Amino acid sequence: MISELFKRLEFYLDARQNKEIFIYPGLNLGVEHSDAHTQAEATVFGFWVFLMSDAIIFGMAFATYATLLHGTADSPGPRELYHLGPIFIETLLLLTSSFTFGMASIAMKYKHPTSRLVGWLLITLVLGVVFLGMELNDFRAMFAAGGLPTQSGFLSGFFGLVPLHGLHVMAGCIWLVCMLGQIAVHGLDSETKLGLLRLALFWHFLDIVWIFIFSVVYLAGLA
Amino acid sequence: MSWSTIFNHPLGLLGADSFPFLAMLSSDDSDIFINGLLGSFAAALVIISVMVVVALLTRYRAWRTLWFDWLTSTDHKKIGIMYVVLALVMLTRAIAEAVLMRAQGAVGLGGGFLSSDHFAQLFSTHGTIMIFFMAMPFLTGLINYVVPLQIGARDVAFPILNSISLWLTAAGAALVMISLVVGAFSTGGWFGYPPYTETLYNPGIGVDYWIWSLTLASLGSTLTGINIAVTIYKKRAPGMKLYYMPLFTWTALCTAIMMIFAMPPLTVVTLQLALDRYLDFHFFTNGLGGNQMNFLNMFWLFGHPEVYILILPAFGVYSEIFSTFSGKVLFGYKSLVWATISIAFLSFLVWLHHFFTMGQSGHINAVFGIASMLIGIPTGVKIYDWMWTMLRGRIRFSVPMIYSLAFIFLFVIGGITGIMLANPILDYQVHNTVFLVAHFHNMVVPGVLFGMLAGYTFWFPKAFGFRLDERWGRISAYCWIFGWMGAFFPLYILGLMGLPRRSVAYEQASYVPLEIVAFVGALLVAAALMALVIQLWVSIKYREKNRVFVGDPWNGRSLEWATSAPPPEYNFPVVPSINDRDAFTAAKEFGVGYQEPDAYVNIEIPQNSAMGPVFGGTSFLLAFGLVWQIWWLVILTGLITIGTLVMRGFQRDTLKIIPAEAVCRTHQHWIQAARLALPIKRSQEHTAANKGRAAIETVEVPT
Amino acid sequence: MSEPIVTRTSATNALRANERRDFMSYMWGFGLALGLTLVPFALVQWQAMARDPLLITIAVLALVQTVVHFRYFLHLDRKRKREDLLLVLFSTSLLIIMVAGTIWIMANLAERMTPI
């Protein structure tokens, strides 16, 4: 009877510990590092705050774009410059990369072999790089069609917003390469995990920004 | 920009004519000569000060100490002190500029001695420095020093990020300083409205100096905001609920949150203006679909919250001071907290009142006018709370209290003129006159600067272990107060008489008497600054007499007073448990203020890091390269910056351990001193008997 | 001696269940987001609606997709991590104030300044 009770208790305690470990999806620092754990919580929360600050930067870039929407000054406008096809593919690339990063997070959290984690990360990286390449190609096509940022307020607004997202994706790709390097050098220690966790947040966040870019800039521009 | 421009001009736009001193010599015009002389004098002061500092450091072999104990330190206390030092240095320059401007005003009838360009540079640098490189570093420094102590934490959440923020701010300040020696600063005012600041009207590099110094400062402040907010949110001592936090910590939290959300619009506008200037974009140009009005809109989306970023920490300081120097519990704690939160939130809803006259329709003006007036309500609540805190308290009129009382009187006047200006109809009349100048100086000098100086006096003994000289402190305080009144009350009247702000000269003889009064006031302010310097000198000289090692010279109420002065690197040997507001007062009353813990443990703190200084150096050079279009420098320093970040990611083991024995020794030494020290009554506060141990004196609190 | 083994097995089971739940979360997110992307692209590609209702549809779908991403990719929900949710909601309110305010003011100004 008493041993039964103890078993129960142990189970609950265990479950509670599990819950503590899994406060953040992808974070698995083990119970023994309770100090590291508190610091990890602060780090991840701090990164969330940073993302929100970054969201305001994007918000202001969107607001500027909206303000300048009619300032085309007789140079090409959305209908002449935007093409739905490549944007659709870019959207799928970014969405898939968000998913593959999610798979990487699961591989890390549930301690799958490191090779599987690295594999998912590499797929994510390739998707990100292809996205950037396609976006650059879009810009090149726009330049060729007379859509230079020096032409009009509208185009300034466009090139103040969309490449800003592109630069973020580029930063994300560089960061991803660095994280692969850290895995190679240090293995999956808690600092590397924490880095990957933040990178995952960053990556998913950029995908959310992209929702607004394809909706507000491209779809609304062509509607 | 092609490869040839990079290699054919290794110094970019930099040439012999970039140095105002040389330009002055090669000119025959006497006007240029006088202004050049003033500029060269200022430049020489900068160069000589730097040389003197370098010489002193070498003479006393202090380079190692400076580098290892200060510049690379990640200790929040040292970073806080460095912020305040930066603020005081920049304050000196900005006050000198203010006096020069008022001197010009006094003789400005039909001319004066300054050229309009020089005058424009003066008011631009004065404003930029006072906001971004005086007030912001000052409040950031105080918050950095005090908040972790007040919440019982060992350090901020991200110590290295803290160091980077400091260095980004310092790099911005250095950029403003070097503009005195190389080239010239912007003439576009502290808010740099286009299209005047576009290349078409301002082809020189002045505006670029302004853009990049602001960008560095705003990035630094954003990171600081994140750091402080997470620190307060995540690092509080066990048991410290949000409602147990001292009010200064509350205001710091609100300010930090505002920094996180208000700085990005500034970063966006300055970068968009940079794109306009460097790559010929059309965000804010007159033609080709640009919209200059959007600059005003976004600048003040940052600018108005900024005003409250500045003033909320000062409100926090005043709250601590009224309570401590009245020997009473703060009246209406929760109402003060909620007033702070309301002010912080409302400040995001009123930005349009900075441009009522832009041309939008009346109903929009009305909405924002009413929202602006609403801020008067929580602010009024605060004023009453402070007065009730003093009611039937045993008030000590020491320096921090003198500043705080002057603040109440003057701030209410400023607040009333603020309510006047919040009315769009009235605003149309006085807009762009010196009435506005008087109003906002009324808010930021008695509001912010007095608060910062009061906080400096209040916490100085904690940081350095000895009290500041009381007599010179009083002299300085009275000079500040009466000097401020002399300098700005006349401007209210001059504004109503129609004197436009930023006029280098005027034609109305009736302005002269009040302009002279204002100049005398400015001189008094300069005297106040001198007195502040003398106070520091005298205090250091007689420091042995004023030592307060035990650490509680004012009978303080919150946790920062529960440590030695200066506190050990790790702040608390054992993180305290909190179960009340005014935790230290409670501990003292229960007789457990100076106790030994049951056991000591090893303490982990972050190692020093060269990240901050490296970031500061490279970002300064990066910005300098951008200003002068030295592209190889931009690319090089940009790569170094990124490389440093990447390398940092690969670093491990960034902590160092302080062994339990060392903690034990330090702590026992302090406890011993506390037990030996005589608890002194408040009447002896300013005597040599005050070793930092306070006697318990209960004040009868009316119920 | 058998008790600890039982506990460990139940812990492993819990772990497996967790993993499955997390995996399904990403799958759901991916599927929903895919649908919410396809629909507006298709609507615009074939100009299936009048302009104003189309714009409103795009906006609504974008907002729904944002919620989906936050919920399934960033794991933001009411059960765990309430502080992050509060942070995002607060940031969103400020973002709306800033962006909507800007558009309101600048549109009004443009209307009043447009030469007739």
Q: Which residues pair with B655 in a beta bridge?
A: B606
Confidence of residue B701 (pLDDT cuts 50, 70, 90): low
C-alpha distance from C116 to closest chain A C-alpha (Å): 16
What pLDDT digit, counting tens, does each position of A128-150 carry? 999 999 999 999 999 999 999 99
Instruction: Check residue B131 and give its pLDDT.
Output: 96
State yes or no: pLDDT of B354 exceeds 90. yes
- B chain contacts of residue C94, beta-carbon cutoff 8 Å: 261, 348
CATH code, A47-222: 1.20.120.80
Tokens of B256: 């930090």
pLDDT score recorded for residue B521: 97
Closest CB to C102: pick one of B298, B358, B359.
B298
Chosen from B224, B281, B298, B299 to mutate, greatest number of chain A CBs within 10 A: B281
Which residue shows structure tokens 């006094």? B106
Contact: B301, C112; criterion CB under 8 Å: no
Q: What is the pLDDT of residue B698?
A: 66
Contact between chains at C97 and B349 (C-beta distance less than 8 A):
yes
Taking the C-alpha atoms of residue A221 and residue B96, their distance in angstroms, rounded to an integer, is: 53
Number of residues in chain B: 703
Structure confidence at residue A12 as a pLDDT band (50, 70, 90): very low
Nearest by CB: C112 against B297, B298, B361: B361
* pLDDT of residue A6 exceeding 60: no
Give the lowest-confidence range in A201-210, B16-25, B469-478, B548-557: B16-25
Q: What mean pLDDT do residues B676-691 have?
A: 91
Of B298, B349, B360, the CB nearest to C108: B360
Residue to test with chain B: of A60, A150, A159, A190, most B Cβ within 10 A: A60
Q: Residue A67 is encoded by which pair of tokens? A: 């303000």
CB atoms within 10 A of CB A163: 16
B360 with C101: Cβ contact below 8 A: no
Query: Per the CB < 8 Å rule, is A182 touching B650?
Result: yes
Q: Which chains touch B (3 or more CB pairs under 8 A)?
A: A, C
Crossing angle between the packed helical segments B470-496 and B434-443, to the nearest 10 degrees: 150
Find the closest chain B residue to A38 by CA distance. B234
Distance of CA B596 to the CA centre of its chain: 37
Q: Which of B143-147, B425-429, B651-655 has the highest mean pLDDT?
A: B143-147
In total, the C-beta contacts within 8 angstroms joining chain A to chain B are 123
Higher pLDDT, A33 or B490: B490
- What band does B3 get if pLDDT is binned at 50, 70 and 90? low
What digits encode the pLDDT tens for the residues B328-340? 999 999 999 999 9
pLDDT at B626 over 60: yes
Helix %, strand %, coil % for chain C, to 5?
85, 0, 15
Put simply, whether B502 touches A (Cβ < 8 Å) is: no
Contact A68 B234 (CB under 8 A): no
Residue B703 in this model has a pLDDT that exceeds 60: no
Does the distance separating the beta carbons of C113 and B352 come in below 8 Å? no
**Interface touch B275/A49, C-beta < 8 Å:** no
Inform me whether the C-beta atom of residue C103 falls under 8 Å from chain B C-beta atoms.
Answer: no
Q: pLDDT of A171-211, one tens digit each?
A: 999 999 999 999 999 999 989 999 999 999 999 999 999 99
- For C92, nearest residue in chain B (alpha carbons): B261
Residue C111 or B697, more confident: C111
Give the rounded distance of the alpha carbon of B609 from its chain centre.
Answer: 24
Q: Do A7 and C29 touch (CB under 8 A)?
A: no
Whether C74 sits inside 8 A of A10 (CB atoms) is: no
pLDDT band at A18 (very low <50, low <70, confident <90, very high): very low
- Residue A27 contacts residue A105 (beta carbons within 8 Å): no
Per-residue pLDDT of B362-414, as tens digits, reads 999 999 999 999 999 999 999 999 999 999 899 999 999 999 999 999 999 99
In angstroms, what is the C-alpha Rg of chain B?
Answer: 26
- CB-CB contact of B612 with B624 (8 Å): no
**Which pTM value belongs to this model?**
0.93
- Contact map slice: B 301-340 vs C, CB within 8 A: 301
Q: What is the DSSP string of C90-105?
A: HHHHHHHHHHHHHHHH
Please give the mean pLDDT across all residues of chain B.
Answer: 92
For chain C, the first-to-last Cα distance in angstroms comes to 90
Distance CA C33, CA C24 (A): 14
Question: Domains (ranges, CATH) in chain B?
Answer: 62-560+585-609+654-684 (1.20.210.10)
Give the tens place of pLDDT for each residue, C32-67: 999 999 999 999 999 989 999 999 999 999 999 999
Would you state the structure tokens that stand for residue B618, as one six-digit string? 């490279």
3-state secondary structure labels for all residues of B558-619: CHHHHCCCCCCCCCCCCCCCCCCCCHHHHHHHCCCCCCCCCCCCCEEEECCCCHHHHHHHHH
- pLDDT over threshold 70, residue B702: no
Q: Which residue has the tokens 């160092």?
A: B656
Q: What does the DSSP assignment read for B655-668?
A: EEEE-HHHHHHHHH
pLDDT on residue C72: 93
CA distance C41 to chain B (A): 29
SS3 B183: coil
Query: Nearest Cβ partner of A23 from C80, C94, C95?
Result: C80
pLDDT value, residue B119: 94
> CA of B221: which chain A residue's CA is closest?
A53
- The DSSP string of B19-64 is SHHHHHHT---HHHHHHHHHHHHHHHHHHHHHHHHHHHHHHTT-HH
Q: Is the pLDDT of residue C1 over 50?
A: no
What is the distance between the alpha carbons of residues A194 and A200, in angstroms, rounded to a whole number? Answer: 10
Please give the DSSP secondary-structure letter assigned to residue B468.
P
CB-CB neighbors (< 8 A) of C91 in chain B:
261
**Cβ-contact B343, B258 below 8 angstroms:** no
pLDDT-based confidence at B10, cuts 50/70/90?
confident
**pLDDT attached to residue A28:** 39
Q: Label residue B15 by pLDDT band (50, 70, 90).
A: confident
Hey, which bits of chain C come out as E strands?
Answer: none
Note the pLDDT of residue A144: 95
Asked which of A23-37, A120-134, A203-217, B686-700 is least confident by mean pLDDT, the reply is A23-37
Could you tell me where the DSSP H helices lie in B327-395? 333-346, 362-374, 376-390
Cα–Cα nearest to B243, from B381, B346, B338, B347: B338
User: Where do the structural domains in chain C lie, given as residue ranges?
Assistant: 1-75, 79-116
Tens of pLDDT, residues B594-619: 888 888 999 989 999 999 999 999 99
Q: Is the pLDDT of residue A27 over 70?
A: no
Interface test with C, best of B232, B235, B299, B301 (most C CBs within 10 A): B301
Can you say whether residue C50 is alpha, beta or left, with left for phi > 0 and alpha for psi between -120 and 50 degrees? beta
pLDDT given for residue A1 in this prediction: 52
Position A92, amino acid: L
Chain C residues with beta carbon closer than 8 angstroms to that of A84: 41, 44-45
Q: Is the pLDDT of residue B415 over 80?
A: yes
